[in-house]
Amino acid sequence: AMAIWTFVVEFGGGTYSSQFQADDLHAAIDQYNANDPSGCGAVPLDPDAVELEGLDNIFCTGGLTEDAEQSIFANIVKTDISK
């Protein structure tokens, strides 16, 4: 089954959360970059996210806006949404 990936993105003084269903982390980041869920240009994120040391299924990445004017910081969590 595909995983749900939860994005918590800090950008331009705001925090934006979104979720994507994907087979793996890179596919989830591709979906995020294609959709810009913040609606504020908080793309692209670097697809080479790093898993946080000592934690499971939590990744960190960042990026620069297309004009290289603003930085983007993202935590991404592989999320179990079963109830």
Question: What pLDDT, on a 0 to 100 scale, did the predictor assign at position 82?
Answer: 65
Q: State the pTM of this model.
A: 0.91
pLDDT digit string, tens, across residues 33-83: 999 999 999 999 999 999 999 999 999 999 998 888 899 999 999 987 766
CA distance 26 to 44: 12
Nearest alpha carbon to residue 74 among 3, 2, 18: 18
pLDDT digit string, tens, across residues 30-41: 999 999 999 999
Question: What pLDDT, on a 0 to 100 scale, did the predictor assign at position 83?
Answer: 60
